[in-house]
Amino acid sequence: MVTGCAGFIGTHLVDRVLEGGGAVIGIDSLAPTYDSVGRRLQIQRLSENEHFEFIEGDINRVDLTELVADVDVIYHLAARPGVRASWRDFGTATDANILATQKVLDAIAANPDTRLVFSSSSSVYGSADEFPVPESRPLAPISPYGVTKAAGEALLSAYASQFDLSLTSLRYFTVYGPRQRSDMAFTRWIRCALQGRPLPIYGDGKAIRDFTYVDDVVTATLMAGEGIVPGHRIFNVAGGGPVSINEVIEMISRLLDVELEVRHSEPSRGDPIRTGGDTSLIEHELSWSPVTPIEQGLRDQIEWARGVGAQRRP
């Protein structure tokens, strides 16, 4: 089962499972938060495969218990994404990121042989003071979104201890690549660059991010779902090569061979100055490490934007 199956990471994950001969139950509310038409088109495409079953609905209102009975692993990706959006509507973020996670855990508690992989976030670390950040660092989120992800992890720990479940939290670091959401930075910048418009940048561009390519994230996510390991495991999933926003803009300019105009605005509340994840634990436990250099990943995302989304305003 893949919750949030119509989303950026979700569609890539479903594709990979189906390509490997697996069967998927996909759940998504298709909420009109971003790219509604594009997500429905993705569901239409996925539904052409007879091994994909789609259920449209809010997880908090779908009866999961019977569905989970025949599921080996749940990849719980559904969430209300976005740091900035979480300041505006914490109620929605709470429903989608915390209450829905407990709903999934309740269903697994009734079917304890089902494994769970939960999409957490580097936002749980807040403004870290050591890099790369290990999983052992105390959590200190600086945005409501980060708070919801930290709460989700806490729920997994509680359920693992009380119901002897096999649960894994993956702390994704700034995922990018083809099909990235329209409100995310790389998609906005690439579309602006292709259309000859100024690129909107929050802050001075010196912020550093550990960008992680979506295919690498999907590989880590699938590996985390293999095998029953009792308890709650937590891993960083990071790209391994932190770069500044200004360096990314230079790469886009070079790959497109165009001069780019940049318009700076105030830094966004809740965004840390730097992120960077220590992946030694997941390398040791799951033999996973990122393989996609950021310039290659950017090239792939640019090609996707040329073919699909270049004509839409961000």
| 197 pLDDT above the threshold of 80 | yes
Contacts within 8 Å (CB) and 24+ apart, 250-255: 251/294, 251/295, 251/298, 252/189, 252/190, 252/193, 252/298, 252/302, 253/193, 255/295, 255/298, 255/299, 255/302
Output the pLDDT for position 106. 97
pLDDT at 310 (0 to 100): 42
Q: Is 217 or 82 the better-scoring residue by pLDDT?
A: 217
pLDDT at 314 over 50: no
pLDDT at 246: 97
Show the tokens assigned to 95.
């429903």
pTM value is: 0.95
What average pLDDT does this structure show over 56-73?
94
User: 3-53, pLDDT tens digit by residue?
Assistant: 999 999 999 999 999 999 999 999 999 988 778 889 999 999 999 999 999
Domain boundaries, the chain: 2-309
Q: How many angstroms separate the Cα of 119 from the Cα of each of 74, 175, 251, 293?
A: 11, 12, 28, 22
Average pLDDT, the chain: 94
Write down the CATH superfamily of domain 2-309.
NAD(P)-binding Rossmann-like Domain (3.40.50.720)
Tell me the pLDDT band of 309, cut-offs 50, 70 and 90: low
CA contacts within 13 A on the Cβ side of 269: 7
Q: pLDDT above 90 covers what percent of the chain?
A: 87
pLDDT tens track for 240-290: 989 999 999 999 999 999 999 999 999 889 899 999 999 999 999 999 999
- Cis peptide, bond prior to residue 132, ω within 30 of zero: yes
Is 145 catalytic? The answer is yes
Query: Tens digits of per-residue pLDDT, 103-147?
Result: 999 999 999 999 999 999 999 999 988 899 999 999 999 999 999
Active-site annotation holder among 75, 125, 145, 213: 145
